[in-house]
Amino acid sequence: MDRIRVNVISESGGFEAQGVHTAFVDMVEALKGRPEVEILVNSRERADVLHAHTFGPRYWLARGGYRGRRVMTAHVIPDSFKGSLALWRWWMPLAKAYLRAAYSSADVVLAVAPHVKADLEGLGVRSRIEVLTNPVNGRRFRRDASLRARGRGLLGLGDGELAALGVGQVQPRKGVAEFIETARLRPDWRFFWLGGRPFGRLTDSVHGLDRAIAAAPPNVRFVGTVPLESMPALYSAADAFLFPSWQENCALAINEAMACGVPLVLRDNPEYPALYGEGNYLKALSPGGFAEALAALGADPELRRRLSGAGLEVAGRFDVGAYADFLVRLYRGLAARSPEGS
């Protein structure tokens, strides 16, 4: 078969510092090195397959010419809106209807985790659904002593200081308030949150969030949005990745932290064991539990080494090469279909 042309659609360009955009960038980078495919991005040129990461106007305008050959990666489910955007309870029925229509308009939907597939089926999505987790770029995100030294310099960390890192949009769903409360309980650690607030004043519970940040103890620093190229060093600077998020699908931040060898302290969310296995991270449900986990890590270098090694091993399961192989096979099968209705 001739080289397959794939038009990749993403409307995340105005929100570079968030997971959907990073997943889109990672996918394009992974496939641009493959001789079997030619990647177009947000193009009006003819292609064999359309692959969308978002479902805004650009997707709806492009999809008509790709009957039978439309792929969409499902990064968002209804629960993703809770604790993210203001007044979500009021417009959730409309959001569910829109997600059902958008995902059903694709021929193949790629769910980024097993529970995402189950949620889409429960939502009534009619398309064929496959599970393909977000990958991690092992060339960019890796355990490296020089990256650690650079990152600790960027954060102003002294020798022997213990640092906990949180990454994500500043919103209630990410557990920002719990992150702050954990810092209050562990004054012997320094806490850094990387990420901005792309929804601005439309963020859920924004006034309460502002008050919590303003009252944060002095060992907490909100760094703001960070360029992607700086992230490997900043992950590497940390002694723990503290992620108290209430709900995630397949969080790139977790994958990236693991690939940098940072021990994980996660909320005890039910979707995590299927993705990361049991015993490969510390888990808790409250600031008190997170603080106890950090105390254990701080007191036990062997525990830090074990969890670092376990994370590196799990990160290998999210290998970007295997991810690209899956997509090439999928595209080949779709491109072989007759372009009916094109």
pLDDT tier for residue 154 given thresholds of 50, 70 and 90: very high
- Same domain for 175 and 118: no
Least confident of 31-45, 220-234, 326-340: 326-340
> What are the C-alpha distances in Å from 166 to residues 36, 156, 163, 221, 261?
38, 16, 10, 10, 15
pLDDT tier for residue 87 given thresholds of 50, 70 and 90: very low
Question: Does residue 310 lie in a domain region?
Answer: yes
Instruction: Give Cα 165 to chain centroid, integer Å.
Output: 15
Mean pLDDT of the chain: 87
> What are the C-alpha distances in Å from 260 to residues 31, 160, 240, 243, 309?
23, 19, 11, 15, 10
Neighbouring CB atoms inside 10 A of 161's CB total 14
> What are the C-alpha distances in Å from 254 to residues 49, 134, 250, 270, 300?
30, 11, 8, 15, 22
Average pLDDT over residues 154-176: 89
3-state helix, strand, coil in the chain (%, to 5): 45, 20, 35
Is residue 264 within 8 Å of 308, Cβ to Cβ?
Answer: no
pLDDT tier for residue 342 given thresholds of 50, 70 and 90: very low
- Same domain for 273 and 283: yes
pTM, two decimals, is 0.87
Percentage of residues of the chain with pLDDT beyond 90: 51
- Same domain for 212 and 86: no
pLDDT attached to residue 287: 95
CATH number of the domain to which 88 belongs: 3.40.50.2000
Residue ranges making up the domain that contains 26: 4-135+319-335
pLDDT attached to residue 42: 86
Question: Does residue 341 lie in a domain region?
Answer: no
Q: What 3-state DSSP class applies to 30?
A: helix
Name, in order, each residue with C-beta under 8 angstroms of 178's C-beta and a sequence gap of 6 or more. 244, 267, 286, 287, 290
Asked if residue 174 has pLDDT above 70, the reply is yes
Name, in order, each residue with C-beta under 8 angstroms of 5's C-beta and a sequence gap of 6 or more. 37, 38, 40, 45, 46, 47, 48, 49
Is residue 126 within 8 Å of 101, Cβ to Cβ?
Answer: no
- Same domain for 324 and 308: no
pLDDT tier for residue 82 given thresholds of 50, 70 and 90: low
Question: Does residue 140 lie in a domain region?
Answer: no
Q: Can you give the C-alpha Rg of the chain in angstroms?
A: 20
- Same domain for 117 and 172: no
pLDDT tier for residue 241 given thresholds of 50, 70 and 90: very high
Question: Does residue 87 lie in a domain region?
Answer: yes
Question: Does residue 342 lie in a domain region?
Answer: no
- Same domain for 43 and 32: yes
Residue-wise over 275-309: b if at least 16 C-beta within 10 A, else e? bbeeebbbbbeebebbbbbbeebbeeeeebeebbe
Report the domain count for the chain: 2
What tokens does 280 get? 């490969």
- Same domain for 263 and 129: no
- Same domain for 204 and 129: no
- Same domain for 327 and 275: no
Neighbouring CB atoms inside 10 A of 32's CB total 12
- Same domain for 256 and 180: yes
- Same domain for 70 and 29: yes
- Same domain for 180 and 254: yes
Asked if residue 190 has pLDDT above 90, the reply is yes
